[in-house]
Amino acid sequence: MSESSLAEFPLFMQTRMSPGLETERLIGAYTQNREGNQLLFFGGIHGNEISGVKALQRVFAHLKKHRPSFRGSVVGLAGNPPALAQGKRYLERDLNRLFDLESLRAWQLLESEHGQDGNERPKAVTGEAREALELYRIIERLVQTGTPTQRIFVDLHATSASGGGFSVIRDTEANREIAARMHLPLIFGLETQLQATLMNLLYRMGLTGIVFEGGQIGSTEALEVHTAGIWTLLTGLGCLHPKDVPDYRTHINRMIDAAEGLPKAVQTRYRHAVQPGDGFAMLPGFGNFHPVRSGDLLAHDHRGPVLAPQDGMLLMPLYQQQGEDGFFLVDSVDY
């Protein structure tokens, strides 16, 4: 039984390597070519949400060093290396709103028309569009290789507000099961409020996956929750034996503790859209799952006070400059 080398992942070696950038596309890859699930993790689709990247680096460093027995395969990819290098959510456009299948196919065509002379990169597709296209190509090729038990995609994010790990999923049995393995609260219906996210592309391609929000951007908690969630999923799906995971019990407990006191499942009822120049400013002190009543003052913008349009719980109130979602309101649902 030998540790796989990156050479066994030629697909990923073909992705761009960006000299001078701190973070490259491939964070890590591990397999022993045994039957099992194929897991693909994305970190840093938003370049200021580094907990996912750091957690993946930790996990792959451990796998590389200790070479535990492993079923299936796991790959970790950095979503937006140029934005990660600058610690910004994005540089030109929000990468997580560019995964529209028609646009991706159009960009693909544009690139092929520019030819593959191996010299200068075609200028037709640049910036975040290029990142989206590269990720799409990887996904497209990945789903055509091998015959894993299941293909599972996990997109690691963090929020500008404080509070808790949770999952954002389309409500299917398979997606529920992934989130349940990590003991994560389920957020339903949020994906329908957002256009052209990576997860929406995956769902459109008929794939299984979840968004895994680890906690507040830059917090130790988010890094620990992301790390614990990755280990918990790898063991829960039978890729790894718990004895091969460092501090396995601590990770399980961390996931259970993170979900403590939170609803098991919520439905998204409302999204407050923010346009550039709105002057949107959330009142301080709100975290994820903070209960609000209809009419509560939540924020201000150039038009005046922003009130809660209905009862519910706040999700992802915006406490950063970049972003188009002021806040969401969610309701507990039976699960």
Query: What residues make contact with Zn ion under the rule CB under 5 A?
Result: 46, 49, 157
**At its nearest, how many Å lie between Zn ion and the CB of residue 38?**
23
* Cβ-based nearer residue to Zn ion, 94 or 244: 94
Decide whether 50 or 252 has the Cβ nearer to Zn ion: 50
Residue (49 or 224) nearer to Zn ion, CB: 49
Evaluate whether 238 touches 71 at the Cβ level (below 8 Å): yes
Task: Please identify, using beta-carbon distances, which residue of 71 and 157 lies nearer to Zn ion.
Answer: 157
At closest approach, how far in Å is the CB of 46 from Zn ion? 4
Closer to Zn ion by Cβ: residue 49 or 244: 49
In whole angstroms, the minimum distance from the beta carbon of 335 to Zn ion comes to 24
Separation of alpha carbons 293 and 309, rounded Å: 8
Our CB check for Zn ion shows the closer of 70 and 90 to be: 90
For Zn ion, the closer CB: 38 or 57: 57
Closest distance to Zn ion from the beta carbon of 289 (Å): 18
Query: Exposure string (b/e) for 104-131, b if CB count within 10 Å is 16 or more?
Result: beebeeebeeeeeeeeeebeebebbbbb
Tell the smallest beta-carbon distance from residue 157 to Zn ion (Å).
3
Q: Work out how close the CB of 271 gets to Zn ion at its nearest, in angstroms, rounded to a whole number.
A: 15
263 is written with which tokens? Answer: 């609803």
Complete edge-to-edge strand list for the sheet that includes strand 208-216: 26-31, 73-78, 38-43, 151-159, 208-216, 166-169, 186-188, 265-273, 325-332, 312-315, 291-292
Tell me the residue type at 48: N
CB of 146 to Zn ion, least distance (A): 29
For residue 165, count CB atoms less than 10 angstroms from its CB and return exposed for 0-12, middle for 13-18, buried for 19 or more: buried
Secondary structure, 3-state, 240-264 = CCHHHCCCHHHHHHHHHHHHCCCCC
210 pairs with which residues across the strands? 154
CA distance 124 to 206: 29
Here the tokens at position 152 are 């599972």
Rounding to the nearest 10 degrees, give the CA dihedral for residues 332, 221, 211, 150: -110
Rank residues 46 and 251 by Cβ distance to Zn ion and give the closer one: 46
In whole angstroms, the minimum distance from the beta carbon of 305 to Zn ion comes to 27
- Identity of the residue numbered 16: R
**Whole-angstrom distance, CA of residue 179 vs CA of residue 181:** 5
